[in-house]
Structure 1
Amino acid sequence: MASPPDTKPEIVDEKAISVMEQDDDPSISNVEEQPLVRRIDLHLMPILIAIYILQYLDKSSLNTASLLGIIQDTKLVGQEFPWLNSAFYFGYLGATYPISVLLVKFPIAKVLAASILLWAVVLGCHAAGENFAALCSLRVLLGAFEATISPGFTLITGLWYKPSEHARRHSLWFVGNAVGSLIGSLIAYACTFITGGPLAPWRSLPLGMPMAAYNVIIVLLSASLAEKFRLIICASCANVFPMMLSLISSNVAGFTKKSTVNAVFFLGYCAGNIAGPQFFIPTEAPKYGTAFTALFVIFCILIGLILAFRQYLAWENSRRDKAQGVYIDAESPERDTMPGAVMEATDETDFENKNFR
């Protein structure tokens, strides 16, 4: 007896497919495309940049407060202040998975709007914190509500732009960190007048501004280099965080899978930020030998992992080319219009989708 045909329905990403169903022939010419992309940039990028600036200011407010006397006013002792820094990422870590589910189940804009409103309320409540327990609780909540921003922005960038456009757009909104540092230094300069130490704080705080301005230039330059040369070596002269987010948008297929990979990525991000402050032991100041030794070892490991990952991807792409009898250049802008790019809307894994590069 012949076996019945396999009637298992294909699992697809409904959000990605719904975009393509809006038009029978969604292709447009390059002449038509450029004004459209500029219009999207004009409406989308300023909002993302402004929110990222606010996120940086909120996240770094504790460090500024330490210069204004929060440690003495709240009677923090020992490692309590570093734990306040880590508490933010405990909240971020705990919210990462629920946020990835919410971003798939509900409209991204509504999830982001609710998160921004709640984080503003929590940040305002920091002024009422009078001890370690209160501040630690608020920092955990702040991290939980801010956990939506970077994953949400990565998904928005993936939805609105082609893979070849991701690097520049990720860098544009990520540069909000550097702009936030500039603004934060000005605010701290305006609010601070404390004497003592080899250099008065009102003199030392503006010293962070040149580095922030340099960061703006480097982040934007790295995006241009990545688009023009498409070489992994470009990351060596740049702030690599937006480049890593761009890799997720460009190299992971399907809205749901992007959300899942984002969640895994930010789990590691939180773990590092939780552990990092603990290596800066107060008794080792100002050299912090343990911290710098740990950083050196971790960077060496990262270099090896990045090179190994690059070689694995090259081997896998070559294997697929040989199996299919074709050559698909994963770094070519024409990849955006290949059949494999359309297939990325399905919820097949990267191993199942043989056209994926």
Structure 2
Amino acid sequence: MKLERTVNTMSDVKDTSVTAPPTDTEKAAEYPSNQIGIESMRKHVDSNDPDEALKLVSGEAIVLTPEDEKQLLRKIDLHLMPLLCVIYGLNYLDKTTLSYASIMGIKTDLNLQGQDYSWIASIFYFGYLFWEWPTNRLLQRLPLAKYSAFNVIMWGLTLCCLAAVKNFGGAMAVRFFLGAFEAAVSPGFALFTSQWYTKKEQGTRVGWWFSFNGWGQIVGGCVAYGIAVGTEAHPISIKSWQLVFLVTGLFTTFMGFLFLYLMPDSQLNARFLTQHERIMAVERIRINQQGVGNKHFKWYQCKEAFTDPMIWAFVLFSVISAIPNGGMSNYFSQLIVSFGFSENMSLLLGVPGGAVQVISLLVAGHFGDRFKNRILFGAGGVLVSVLGLFLILLVPLSNSAGRLAGYYLYQCVSTGFVALLGLISTNVAGWTKKTTAAAMYLIAYCVGNIIGPQVFQSNDAPRYRNANIVVLVCMCVSFAILLFINFWCKRENRVKAAIRATPGYTKLDGQEFLDLTDRENPEFIYSL
């Protein structure tokens, strides 16, 4: 595959800005992206602030054969994916250790009353919310891998501190800082994915590393069960829930140091690639129209993020879908106990739920990329979760197996969230806009997760029927939002096609690496 660039002049761009779009879509002239696309590109392309990758590929004539690209992709996957997957699995495991601790004695030992446990669950996301915007700015400004590794190390050490808390206040403080350090993970991993992989590859890769949430639940359930049973048979000087925090925290810290040593900040300093392979790695993602990074904050891109209907649809989905996540991730062990199972058995019975999540994410990611519509396949998983909630609510209390099956089906819910997290990588261009959109998405995620545990009221235990009804409604609304986003992206692609068909329109030299936003770049095509 030969990748070529066409040299154009700025006058070419000026001509296109005054030419009316042709049309099978006369409405194209009314769309915001039509004005932003040409005029904004003309305004900002002379800013002499291109993507970092432009320095690497400028003047190079690169030819990538299918064999070369396949071999390079395999090499990238081998060096990046294991690290991203394991760290993201720990990110989920470290959050759910509180759920395991809730049935291992932490409530009694800390003398938690009423909604105290719910507030300890919610305070994590206050820390996440407090630091989400600054951490996204730092992800853009600082070396990506090094800053991400710092946060992994710090959240591992902070998790260890939970083993030392003696009361409600101490647990609240530690959980707040745990949330602050974990705030960098999802936006950082979305940036890694967008800078290394083409659009058609990103859905599958996001599905891979996010699916390790399920592996985190599988491993966490087995570890917690082993610790609970082991400490009962052979008592030690610390409580079983304290040991859970120490084991997972210390292993996370170790993986943080490994991440610091092995993970490159971008293609430009990847030690596992030769100099020629670095250039090839940048060239292969030229098709994304996004580049690999720009460290300068651009206010116009920030403003565009705040005025983009697609971004606000992402935000609304994030807050609505996070309400169930915030509740279920902290209460699933107690919910399984309410089905009629013992406390130790509930630790093991949470494991298949993790397996369902892994399978659903991998299937949705694979078929979403294969049929080029991640949104609809993500929405399909949300529908399956709705079915699961109906089982939990409607199956008789005596049918423990049926209600447990409903909980397992609910675990397909992550497909919608992952589809949109992947679309932040593929459908948002301009590095300031991308980091701003990621911050908005995850701030909304925090708000939803803060609300979620409060939906599970102590006086509604053990069945939590009202909470499950709220979760069901949220899933139905989330499904509708996904359908709207699918419609909007198709509409915007028609507008861009009309702009590109305008007589006199020509692409700029190196346009892919000029750090243009998705709305100002007519060559940008939204993925579904």
**Amino acid across the alignment from 1:15:** E
Distance (whole Å) between structure 1 residues aligned to residue 86 and residue 92 of structure 2: 10
Query: Is the counterpart of residue 178 in structure 1 residue 321 in structure 2?
Result: no
Is 1:45–2:81 an aligned residue pair?
yes
The equivalent of 1:253 in structure 2 is 429
Q: Contact 2:125–2:449 (CA<8 Å) still a contact in 1?
A: yes
**Separation in structure 2 between the aligned mates of residue 317 and residue 64 of structure 1, nearest angstrom:** 46
Kindly indicate whether the alpha-carbon contact (under 8 Å) linking 1:154 and 1:246 is maintained by their aligned counterparts in 2: yes
Looking at structure 1, the residues matched to 512 and 440 of structure 2 have their Cα atoms a distance apart, in angstroms, of 20
Looking at structure 2, the residues matched to 38 and 181 of structure 1 have their Cα atoms a distance apart, in angstroms, of 28
The CA deviation at 1:315 is 1.9
Distance 2:148 2:74 in 1: 23
Select the residue among 215, 224, 233 that pairs with 2:376: 233
Q: Which runs of 5+ in 2 are unaligned?
A: 1-41, 233-336, 382-411
For the pair 1:213 / 2:389, whether they are aligned, the reply is no
1:15 aligns with 2:52: yes
C-alpha deviation, 1:209, in angstroms: 1.4
Change (3 A) 1:343 1:275: farther
Contact map agreement 1:16 1:255 (CA 8 A) in 2: no
Instruction: Work out the CA distance in 2 between the residues paired with 1:7 and 1:306.
Output: 33
Stretch of structure 1 that moved more, 93-102 or 241-250: 241-250
* In structure 1, C-alpha distance between the alignment counterparts of 2:459 and 2:133, rounded to whole Å: 36
Structure having greater relative contact order (Cα 8 Å, sep ≥ 6): 2
Structure 1: which 5+ runs fail to align? 1-5, 327-337
- Report the counterpart of residue 350 of structure 1 in structure 2: 518
Indicate whether 1:293 and 2:436 are aligned: no
Q: For the Cα contact (< 8 Å) 2:376–2:486, is it kept in 1?
A: no
Cα distance, 1:202–1:99 mapped onto 2, change above 3 Å: same
Equivalent-residue separation in structure 2 for 1:293 and 1:144 (angstroms): 30
Q: Matches of 2:193 and 2:43 in 1, distance apart? A: 35
Q: CA deviation at 1:18?
A: 4.2
| Contact 2:416–2:482 (CA under 8 A) maintained in structure 1 | no
Are 2:349 and 1:312 equivalent residues in the alignment?
Answer: no
Q: Distance in 2 between matches of 1:113 and 1:187?
A: 24
Report how far residue 43 of structure 1 moved.
0.5
| In 2, Cα distance between equivalents of 1:200 and 1:83 | 25
What SS does the aligned partner of 1:14 have? coil
Q: CA deviation at 1:245?
A: 1.5
Question: Is contact 1:122–1:142 with CA below 8 Å preserved after alignment?
Answer: yes
Q: Which of 103, 127, 134 is equivalent to 2:163?
A: 127
Q: How many residues align?
A: 340
Paired residues of 1:192 and 1:201 also in contact (CA < 8 A): no
Hey, what's the Cα distance between the residues in 2 that align with 1:56 and 1:355?
37
User: C-alpha distance in 1, partners of 2:196/2:422?
Assistant: 13
The CA distance in 1 between the partners of 2:179 and 2:429, in whole Å, is 28
**Shift, 1:206, TM fit:** 0.8
- Tell me, yes or no, if structure 1 residue 144 matches structure 2 residue 180: yes
Residue equivalent to 2:406:
none
Identical positions, percent: 37
Q: Report the residue type matching 1:139 in the other structure.
A: R
After TM superposition, list the pairs within 5 Å mapping 1:18-97 onto structure 2: 18=55, 20-21=57-58, 24-97=60-133
**Would the aligned equivalents of 1:340 and 1:355 in 2 still touch at CA under 8 Å?**
no
Conserved? CA contact 1:253–1:345, under 8 Å: no
User: Counterpart of 1:346 in structure 2: which amino acid?
Assistant: L
Report deviation, 1:16: 4.6
Q: Distance in 2 between matches of 1:26 and 1:263?
A: 35
Report the residue type matching 1:233 in the other structure.
Answer: L
User: What is the CA-CA distance between 1:348 and the residue it aligns to?
Assistant: 3.1
Distance (Å, rounded) in 2 between the aligned partners of 1:63 and 1:245: 25
Note if contact 1:11-1:347 (Cα within 8 Å) is conserved in structure 2.
no
Distance of aligned partners of 1:303 and 1:221 in 2 relative to their CA distance in 1, 3 Å threshold: closer
Which residue number corresponds to residue 331 of structure 1? none
Structure 1 residues 132 and 214, CA gap change in structure 2 (3 angstroms): same
Quick check: 1:162 aligned with 2:198? yes
**CA–CA separation in structure 2 for the residues paired with 1:131 and 1:344:** 54
AA of the residue aligned to 2:145: A
**Partner Cα distance (1:182, 1:72) in 2:** 26
Residues in 1 aligned to 2:148 and 2:82: alpha-carbon distance in whole angstroms: 15
Q: Deviations over 1:9-44 (max 9, x none)?
A: 3364533534544x6134411110001000110000
- Which of the pair has more CA radius of gyration? 2
| Counterparts of 2:65 and 2:511, CA distance in 1 | 21
Q: TM-score with structure 2 length normalisation?
A: 0.60
Trace 1:106-125 onto structure 2 (pairs within 5 A): 106-125=142-161
Q: Secondary structure at the match of 1:113?
A: helix
Q: CA deviation at 1:254?
A: 2.5
Evaluate the alpha carbon distance shift between residue 287 and residue 204 of structure 1 in structure 2; reply closer, same or farther with a 3 A threshold. Answer: closer
* Inter-partner Cα distance in structure 2 for 1:157 and 1:67: 37
C-alpha RMSD over aligned residues: 2.5
Letter in 1 for 2:54: I
